[in-house]
Amino acid sequence: MTSSTRTPATITLVTGASRGLGRNTALSIARTGGDVVVTYHSQAGEAQAVVAEIQALGRQAVALQLDTGDVASFAGFTERLRAALQATWQRDRIDHLVNNAGHGDYASFAETTEAQFDRLVDVHFKGVFFLTQALLPLVANGGRIVNFSTGLTRLTLPGYAAYAAAKGAVEVLTRYLAKELGARGIAVNTVAPGAIETDFGGGAVRDNPALNQQLAQLTALGRVGLPDDIGPMVASLLDASNRWVTAQRIEVSGGQAL
C-alpha cells in the first residue's frame, strides 16, 4: 500500500509494547487500521520485530526507547517523539496514549523493601502521572488515554500489596484525568486485566499448571486469560464508537472471583 492510497490512520503510543500485553495491544490496534508508536525499555530487537509485524499488516510504526520509571528522561523522549511523528507521519500529534509498561515484584507486605516499593511506584504510578503530563500537548483533542491497572485492586493476592496499591492510585488518577481533560474531548479509562498467561511475574500464571488451574476455577468463563483477550478490547476502547465511555475501570478477567 503506498502512502498516497493509505487509509488515514490514528496514531497510538503504547508503552512497554515489545512483549506481553503491550505487544498484543499494538498489533490489535494495527489490525483495526491504526498506526503505532512502540516504546521499549531495553529489548530493542523485540520492539523492532513488533514494528515489522505492524508494517506487515499494512500500517506504519516506529520504536522508541523509554524508561517509564525515569521521569527526568521524559522531556528528551517527548522531543524524540516529536521528531519521529514528523519524519514518519508528517504530523505533530498522537491520537491515543496507552500507559501499559510495567513489571511485577512479588514480596509479602512484611518483606517488601523500600527499593522494591520505590521502583513499583516510579514505574506504575509516578511514571504514568508525569509521562502523561509530558505528552499531553501532543495528544490531539478528542483523543483517548488508556491506563492499565490490574484485577488485584479489586481482589487480594498476598505478595502484591505494593504493586496493587500503585495500580489503585492509577485508577484514581484516571478519574481525575477524565474530569480535567474532558473539556478537550479526551476520554480516559482504566483497563484492569485479570490473571493472564504472559511472562509477567516470571510467567507464573503461564508456566505453573497448578496456579493456572486454581485461577481458572475462580473464573466464571473457566480459564485464565490470554493476551488476545486484552489487546483487542483495548483497541475497541480506542475506537470512535466508544467516544462516550470515560472515567471507567473496565475489568477484563472473564469473571474472576465473582
**Cα–Cα separations (whole angstroms), residue 95 to 91, 145, 158:** 11, 9, 38
Residue in this structure with the C-alpha cell 513488533, named with its chain if needed = 50
DSSP string over 196-248: BSSSGGGGHHHH-HHHHHHHHHTBTTSS-B-HHHHHHHHHHHHSGGGTT--S-
CA distance 173 to 155: 20
Cα–Cα distance, 27 to 50 (Å, whole number): 8
Q: Please state, in angstroms and rounded to a whole number, the distance separating the CA atoms of residues 40 and 80.
A: 14
CB 162 within 8 A of CB 112: yes
Cα atoms found within 13 Å of the Cα of residue 33, Cβ hemisphere only: 9
176 is catalytic: no
Q: How many CB atoms lie within 10 A of CB 136?
A: 17
Q: Which of 40, 106, 160, 163 is catalytic?
A: 163
Pairing of strands 94-99, 187-193: unpaired
Q: Compute the radius of gyration of the chain from its Cα atoms.
A: 18
What residues act catalytically? 163
